[in-house]
Amino acid sequence: MLNQKCTGCHQGKTPAAGIDLQSLAFQLDDTHINGLWVRAHDAVEKGMMPLGAKLTAAERDAFLKSLGEPLIAHERQRAKERGRAVLRRLNRYEYENTVRDLLGAPWLPLRDQLPEDGIVARFNKSGQGLEVSHVQMARYLEAAEQAIRLVLDATGAKPQSGRYYARDQGPMIRRMKFGPFNNHPERATIPLLGFDAQPEVIAETAPMSVGPKDPKTRELEAFATTASTYTGNEMHFDGFTAPVGGRYRIRVNSFSIWAHTEYLPAAGDKKLKAWRPTRKKTSVGRGKEPVTLYALSKAKEKRLLGSFDVTPEPAVQEIEAYLLPGEQIMPDASRLFRSRPGWTGNPDATEAGTPGVAYRWMEVEGPLLTPAARDGYRQLFGNLTAKRDEKGRLTAVAGKEADAEGLMREFVRRAYRRPPQEAEIQRYLGIARAQMQPASGILEGMIAGYTAVLCSPAFLYLEEQPGVLSSEALASRLSYFLWNTAPDADLRGLGTKLRQPEVLRAQARRLLADARSRDFTNAFLDYWLDLRKLGDTTPDQVLYPEAYLDDLLVESSLQETQLFFRDLVNRNLPAANLVDAKFTMLNSHLARHYGLPPVDGVALRPVDLPPGSARGGLLTQASILKITANGTTTSPVLRGVWILERILGDPPPPPPPGVPAVEPDTRGATTIRQQLDQHRSNPSCAGCHARIDPPGFALENFDVVGAWRERYRSTEEGEAVQGFGKNGFAFAFRQGPPVDASGKLATGQAFRDVTELKRALLKDERQIARNLVRQLIAYATGSPAGFADRAEVERILTTTEKDRYAVRTLMEKIIESPLFTQK
Amino acid sequence: MTPAPFVALRKPLPRRQFLRGTGVALALPMLDAMRPVLADEKPADTPRRMLAVCNNLGFLETGFFPAAAGKDYALSPYLSILKEHRQDFTVFSGVSHPDVDGSHATEVCFLTAAPHPGNGGFRNSISLDQHMSEYIGVKTRFPSLTLGVNVVKGQRSLTFTGSGVMIPCEDSASSVYRRLFLQGSEAEIERQIARLKLGQSIMDSVATHATGLERNLGAKDRERLDQYVTGVRELEKRLVLAKDWERRPKPTTKAREPKDPDSSREYMEKTRLMYEMARLALESDSTRLITLFLDSTNSPAIELGEVKITDGYHNLSHHGKNESKLAQLEAIDKWHMKLLSEMLGKMKTTKEGGDTLLDRSMVLYGSNFGDANKHTNTNMPILLAGGGFRHGQHLAFDTKRNYPLPNLFVSMLQRMGIESSKFATSTGTMRGLELKG
């Protein structure tokens, strides 16, 4: 049949699609050639080929069989000999979690110390992509030793607690006084007593604080801000610096206020009048304000710790978080505006006043003696006596030769995910012995030996042998799938019992039910949906001034998607929810962003969507809509490709080389649809773009940050819009042409908008589930589902059909499948 | 904090580690220190070097940027101070780091291009010099040097390692001098050697371990573990070389140890001395990678010869078009150009092989601010001198939609002999910048 129906086009100097079937060898060991034959198979199976010739069902089946059988046989043989997946090292997510567990220090910062991992089949889980170079090794060597020393430093710290009054904090005091770089009242702090401003403190006719001699009054002193914390307007508590890494309890006494305004000129520009806080009069707040806490490093890096709501009534908010040595705490009243130089107005300020947040004090307690922190030393040095310097840092450990051997034996046992060989223990004990110094006992030697273990291949690589996995390898696969870390003691303790299907299933359920399965959700979504790239683009300052600099929106939308997917697993909901759901995860900021009925507070929770809402499912979540845009414009092509690849599992072929991307016009003269129509009038483009563009068009109702729009925004044409951005700049964008989100899928189904698109996509729930299963297989096994694995994928789907492909059940079926239990 | 980890020993000069010199360096001709240290480096391989300088208050745009583009552009008022070097540098306009915003906060991203330094969740990434250092750092005694003038101690630097650690700036020229040319104490040398030896023995041990494991593996899996062994052995080789440096006598110099100015008001003298130290470090092949951070924001009203400076440098930068302030800024900017011109001139007088030191040294000069008065981080003033590129041109890009500056970094990496096709948010190599034939 090949000769009759295919090689007419697919041969010669310029074969169709660049595929010359006449001279294409049947060399299935060659990945590229193998892929071409699979493409040929699929094109015929889907009826896309042969062009212009109709095959009888018998002809078609015969062809598919004659091509499919050797493809399957070849792949199965290869899997039998070497396994579906190739040997791989831990990726940097796994490395971080594994070392944290081993050293009992969940706060250790390790992921970012290693080079980025390579990606194969969309995930950082394949041996082909997880490379090692001397740079990688140098980073392992450095990271491992540093981690061990950080942990040992932390084990000697005594928990302490202290209260840090806002009125004693240098950065807050400095922002109260006007100077050459601080002469705008909205960027200055306001001293308060109770709810009332203290202009006398600003004027320095009254002391900064009554101090400890008058604790009652001191308790009522505060510093308020009417702006969000940002470059040029930074404030943080510099009274407390985390002495060591560990878990800390942070309590903040704060409340919302209302600052009175006057129509005042700016200090630097007398003509520029705006509603500004007078800093002379304040009163009780008019509602809740969200506050985000960041850990601020010396190098001004900011790690998100958590967020809470402050109320008009002063109250103490408490969060527990991990801090690294040297970090300080920076609160940010995240909803308020972030004035940038050149601003002309505050979007929050009116004649009636402007909202603000006031801080009285912060208390920090820690490092808390969590079980892990208590065990940190014992796990490395057992019951041996430690000598410490005046700062609590370890200087020596008294121990004998036999102690060292016992400790090393135990460390290697825990570090390796299979029983260690005696030679392995002796090897690293040798390193330790050579480094023992009289002054520090066995301390330096053991640190060196432990470091070596953490750089060793049996720690860094996941060992698997072809065929059915050993119980140790199976425990590792399960644990790195569902927790992204090494198996815990329970899992390791099961031994060969784990290979019994009901035991395996029970363990899968236990792991998934545990809070640590969050590490699966977040790592899986980081790659499947590219959530790790959420912060890569910025909303354009001119076109999206309300979203530019809105960190709370980015943080909330990341959590929405993570919590949403987690909920599908926890409640075992049908896979179709990925495309459309009756609920989503919201807080007040997201609800406002989506134009939904108000939700109270900054914490995200499941909220039922009102009937008729366009939201629901991944496609309408702000995170996805931001990731698929570039901050300035949206492209139906890019979003269409994204839906085909990530949600429908039907990726289009890569674009032909040399074709420039369509550049959306932000001047407002033409719409993207008009531009693409032109593009598609070219028949060589039309084939693929008829499939790619329509689902992307349905998302045109969502702008670059996922807000609903019925008109495009433009920089030149259209009506002007009044208002101020989060940066204080007057709106300069205009209302551009209307959005047309209608289209027709390649299947012929027409839709008017995203709601109808979702309905059309849901006609084939199995395809949505099939894609999810394939993504999960690539993630869980380190190898994408191949041609020969298709039957097994279909079997998994069929067994879960009656549950409408419930997500957790799908995961359990994958775990029970030979795809998972064999290498 | 923790003691320096193994590999960090080969990292840039730690701040304030004054050497208690045990005597004057052994006499050794400078060029001898330049012999190749990596077995795979052929003697014929040309050493490539870099000095990257950032002034965190930038320059007045009208003074810096030329009006016309291309080869025949007319020098701007500032660049005319560099006119004798016209053929030795390329000036860029319409370039910036994509998504690097947040005004002053961007100074730590000048060599990293990590996006959004002002925002919550910001984490910096590896700087250009450290990226280079991971490949070529082992070829010299110091993998890199991180220098500064008037820097806020321990909080600002251009240098960030791949592990996300900020390397603090060394801000004393005399300390740099001693580090470059005076022998360290025996105890210190011993300590460093012991640690490098340990790293080496760990690498040897894990490589042997891996070779043992390979016996049980199929061909494909073995290939993966082979890659590990190769990486390990390569690092081991580098640790050996690093160890060799500790015993090798330091080079000699005719230059005298400088005296550090007493006051941060002597900003320009401090800058001149640091240029001098940078040049000496490159010339003696003590390192091939240097960053220099001119912390103008942290500088007071500086001394500038005859010109009276009335305000702190940062204050002046917010000139608000005040004529007196503009005139003072212009005087400062021109002084900067004069110092740069002097240094480039000296680098041209040092010969190595058939080239000048400048031919083999990329001097990147610029600022994170396009306009410090307005706090804009687009349209950064950037100039690249030397390094063996075809210069003498103004590469002008769109000032509204900037061309990615990380592309220049990719070109510089490749010039360094490092096979990189990407750095941070780069999209390719610098368009219009070619190597000298």
Q: Which domain holds residue B55?
A: 7-182+256-415
Residues A402 and A418 grouped into a single domain: yes
Asked if residue B175 belongs to a domain, the reply is yes
Residues A327 and A407 grouped into a single domain: no
Report CB contact under 8 Å: B320, A137: no
Q: What number is the average pLDDT over the span A544-550?
A: 94
Report CB contact under 8 Å: B231, A137: yes
Cα–Cα distance for residue pair B425/B407, rounded to 1 Å: 8
Helix axis angle, A31-45 to A57-82, nearest 10°: 150
Contacts of B227 in chain A (CB under 8 A): 131-132
In this predicted model, what pLDDT tens digit does every residue of A480-520 receive, in sequence order? Answer: 999 999 999 999 999 999 999 999 999 999 999 999 999 99
The domain boundary residue, chosen from B198, B216, B248:
B248
The domain boundary residue, chosen from B248, B266, B284:
B248
Report the gap between the CA of B130 and the closest CA in chain A (Å). Answer: 11
Residues B209 and B145 grouped into a single domain: no
Residues B216 and B155 grouped into a single domain: no
Residues B167 and B293 grouped into a single domain: yes
The domain boundary residue, chosen from B208, B223, B248:
B248
Q: Which of A258, A185, A300, A282 is nearest to A728 (CA)?
A: A185
- Residue in chain A closest to B5 (alpha carbons) equals A142
Report CB contact under 8 Å: A427, B1: no
Asked if residue A520 belongs to a domain, the reply is no
The domain boundary residue, chosen from A423, A438, A463:
A463
Cα–Cα distance for residue pair A112/A114, rounded to 1 Å: 5
Banded model confidence at residue A374, pLDDT cuts 50, 70, 90:
confident
Contacts of A458 in chain B (CB under 8 A): 209, 213
In this predicted model, what pLDDT tens digit does every residue of A146-161 receive, in sequence order? Answer: 999 999 999 888 899 9
Asked if residue A519 belongs to a domain, the reply is no
Asked if residue A521 belongs to a domain, the reply is no
Strand partners of residue A182: A179
CB B158 within 8 A of CB B108: yes
The domain boundary residue, chosen from A463, A481, A504:
A463
| Predicted local distance difference test score (pLDDT) of residue B24 | 30
- Tell me: pLDDT of B3 over 90: no
Asked if residue A254 belongs to a domain, the reply is yes
Strand partners of residue A296: A302, A328
For B221, the closest of A87, A139, A303 (CB atoms) is A87
**HEC-encoded secondary structure of A450-512:** HHHHHHCHHHHEECCCCCECCHHHHHHHHHHHHCCCCCCHHHHHCHHHHHCHHHHHHHHHHHH
Asked if residue B334 belongs to a domain, the reply is yes
Residues B209 and B357 grouped into a single domain: no
Residues A601 and A724 grouped into a single domain: yes
| Predicted local distance difference test score (pLDDT) of residue B9 | 35
Residues B281 and B397 grouped into a single domain: yes
Residues A423 and A346 grouped into a single domain: no
Residues B79 and B225 grouped into a single domain: no
Residues B361 and B263 grouped into a single domain: yes
Query: Which spans in A363-470 are helix H?
Result: 371-381, 401-415, 422-435, 443-455, 457-460
Separate counts of helices (H) and strands (E) for chain A: 27, 22
Asked if residue B339 belongs to a domain, the reply is yes
* Check: complex ipTM more than 0.90: yes
Residues B287 and B362 grouped into a single domain: yes
Residues A207 and A309 grouped into a single domain: yes
Helix, strand and coil percent figures for chain A, each rounded to 5: 45, 20, 40
Residues A57 and A120 grouped into a single domain: no
Banded model confidence at residue B42, pLDDT cuts 50, 70, 90:
low
Banded model confidence at residue B315, pLDDT cuts 50, 70, 90:
confident
Residues B46 and B151 grouped into a single domain: yes
Residues A437 and A494 grouped into a single domain: no
Q: Which domain holds residue A100?
A: 90-158+375-463
In this predicted model, what pLDDT tens digit does every residue of A116-144 receive, in sequence order? Answer: 899 999 999 999 999 999 989 999 999 99
Return the C-alpha torsion angle A230, A234, A240, A243, nearest 10: 50
Residues A43 and A103 grouped into a single domain: no
Domains contained in chain A, number:
6
| Predicted local distance difference test score (pLDDT) of residue B22 | 26
Place of tokens 């040029």: A232
| Predicted local distance difference test score (pLDDT) of residue A268 | 61
CATH number at residue B300: 3.40.720.10
In this predicted model, what pLDDT tens digit does every residue of B77-131 receive, in sequence order? Answer: 999 999 999 999 999 999 999 999 888 889 999 999 999 888 888 889 999 999 9
| Predicted local distance difference test score (pLDDT) of residue A577 | 98
Report the gap between the CA of A394 and the closest CA in chain B (Å). Answer: 11
The domain boundary residue, chosen from A368, A388, A417:
A368
Instruction: Kindly write down the DSSP assignment for every residue of A695-758, as one continuous string.
Output: HHHHGGGB-TTS-B-SEEEESSSSEE---B-TTSPBP--EEEEEP---EE-TTS-EESSHHHHH
Cα–Cα distance for residue pair A377/A155, rounded to 1 Å: 6
Asked if residue A671 belongs to a domain, the reply is yes
| Predicted local distance difference test score (pLDDT) of residue A26 | 86
- Residue in chain B closest to A539 (alpha carbons) equals B99
Residues near B153 by beta carbon (within 8 Å), at least 6 away in sequence:
B15, B168
Residues A698 and A770 grouped into a single domain: no
Q: Supply A16's token pair.
A: 């169709």
Asked if residue B424 belongs to a domain, the reply is no
Q: Which residue has the higher pLDDT, B216 or A564?
A: A564
CB A446 within 8 A of CB A380: yes
Indicate the pTM of the whole model. Answer: 0.88
Residues B264 and B243 grouped into a single domain: no
DSSP code, position A273: E
In this predicted model, what pLDDT tens digit does every residue of A165-212 receive, in sequence order? Answer: 999 999 999 999 988 777 888 889 999 999 999 999 999 999 999 999
Domains contained in chain B, number:
2
- Tell me: pLDDT of B25 over 80: no
Residues A331 and A219 grouped into a single domain: yes
CATH number at residue A327: 2.60.120
Residues near B358 by beta carbon (within 8 Å), at least 6 away in sequence:
B88, B344, B347, B348, B385, B386, B387
In this predicted model, what pLDDT tens digit does every residue of B189-248 receive, in sequence order? Answer: 899 899 999 999 999 999 999 999 999 899 999 999 999 999 999 999 989 999 999 889
Report CB contact under 8 Å: B221, A82: yes
The answer to whether residue A793 neighbours chain B at the CB level (below 8 Å) is no
Residues B29 and B147 grouped into a single domain: yes
In this predicted model, what pLDDT tens digit does every residue of A268-304 receive, in sequence order? Answer: 667 778 899 999 999 999 999 999 999 999 888 899 9
- Tell me: pLDDT of A257 over 60: yes
Taking the CA atoms of chain B, what radius of gyration do you get in angstroms?
22
- Tell me: pLDDT of B16 over 90: no
DSSP code, position A231: T
Banded model confidence at residue A427, pLDDT cuts 50, 70, 90:
very high
Percent of chain B with pLDDT over 70: 89
Would you tell me which residues 462-481 of chain A have a C-beta closer than 8 angstroms to some C-beta of chain B?
Answer: 463, 465-466
The pair phi, psi for residue A403, each rounded to 5°, is -60, -45
Residues A742 and A621 grouped into a single domain: yes
Taking the CA atoms of chain A, what radius of gyration do you get in angstroms?
31
CB A468 within 8 A of CB A84: no
Residues B15 and B159 grouped into a single domain: yes
Residues A575 and A634 grouped into a single domain: yes
Q: Which residue has the higher pLDDT, B168 or B40?
A: B168
Q: Supply A4's token pair.
A: 């009759």
